[in-house]
């Protein structure tokens, strides 16, 4: 039996959502590791872009930020944030990979604040950075939430930093965003969601090994859709774990050494 951590499982599940011959704009941490793992396994031609300007680098090991010098190692382009946003707005980026502090049933993300008064928040988070642009302009948004709880999966986010489907079907288009765009996957420490094509509400499609649908209901602050047949995410393989620890993150930046 292969032993693995929840973080390793999330990385593998996230990587499996990325297709070959596609492009992805990623943030720091698990999204970056997932994109690297996809490149190393089934999506060798996946193009990775970074907010700070690196396009299609040959990443030697996991960068610690989107501005790390490794994000332009043997890259096709070493440009600027302005050019990256221009590339995304022109429709050349298939996936944006994001996270946040809160998420609601339509995939709206909050990474700005907790509370109702913007001038005096209960908690202040880092804010948008390029996340709003990524979620607004990329064709699909993939989201990683590392702690699935009712405090983070809420009926209404305290602040919309990055738009999902806003108020539901048609809302993105009403606000001037491109038709056919929006969140497509949510990866958590319990399960994998997609979004119902008609209601645009988060839909459970796979649980992690040992997790039940009731476990997920108890940890979610809103009612979500459930697929007709809920599957189980296959665990990481020995080769997945070898790549994670020997190639992607040999220094144990986000995956502690064993």
Catalytic residues: 51
For residue 17, give the nearest of 146, 165, 184, 164 by alpha carbon.
184
Cα(248)–Cα(33) distance, integer angstroms: 7
Cα(54)–Cα(32) distance, integer angstroms: 13
* Interhelix angle 30-40/6-16, nearest 10 degrees: 60
Cα(90)–Cα(100) distance, integer angstroms: 25
Q: Which residues contact 186 (CB under 8 A, 6 or more apart)?
A: 103, 107, 142, 143, 144, 145, 192, 193, 194, 202
> How big is the chain, counted in residues?
258
Backbone angles phi, psi at 32, to 5 degrees: -65, -45
Cα(185)–Cα(204) distance, integer angstroms: 10
SS3 content of the chain, % helix, strand, coil (to 5): 25, 25, 55
- List, in sequence order, every residue forming a beta bridge with 98; answer none if it has no partner: 143
How far lies 31's CA from each of 7, 49, 98, 172, 193, in Å?
11, 12, 7, 24, 16
In the block, residue with structure tokens 């390793």: 8
């Amino acid at each position: 039996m292969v032993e693995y951590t929840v973080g390793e499982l999330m990385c593998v599940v996230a990587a499996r959502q990325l297709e070959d011959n596609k492009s992805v704009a990623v943030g720091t941490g698990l999204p970056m590791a997932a994109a690297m793992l996809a490149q190393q396994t089934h999506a060798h031609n996946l193009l990775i872009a970074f907010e700070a300007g690196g396009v299609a680098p040959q990443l030697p090991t996991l960068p610690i930020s989107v501005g790390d010098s490794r994000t332009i190692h043997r890259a096709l382009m070493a440009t600027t944030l302005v050019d990256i946003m221009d590339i995304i707005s022109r429709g050349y980026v298939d996936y944006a990979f994001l996270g946040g502090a809160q998420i609601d049933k339509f995939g709206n993300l909050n990474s700005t604040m907790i509370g109702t008064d913007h001038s005096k928040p209960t908690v202040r988070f880092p804010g948008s950075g390029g996340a709003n642009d990524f979620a607004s302009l990329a064709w699909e948004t993939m989201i990683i939430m590392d702690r699935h709880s009712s405090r983070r999966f809420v009926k209404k986010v305290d602040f919309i930093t990055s738009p999902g489907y806003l108020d539901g079907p048609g809302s993105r288009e009403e606000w001037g965003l491109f038709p056919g765009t929006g969140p497509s996957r949510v990866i958590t420490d319990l399960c994998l969601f997609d979004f119902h094509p008609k209601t645009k509400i988060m839909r459970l499609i796979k649980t992690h090994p040992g997790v039940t649908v009731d476990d997920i209901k108890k940890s979610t602050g809103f009612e979500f859709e459930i697929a007709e047949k809920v599957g189980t995410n296959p665990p990481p393989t020995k080769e997945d774990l070898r790549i994670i620890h020997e190639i992607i993150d040999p220094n144990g930046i986000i995956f502690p050494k064993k």
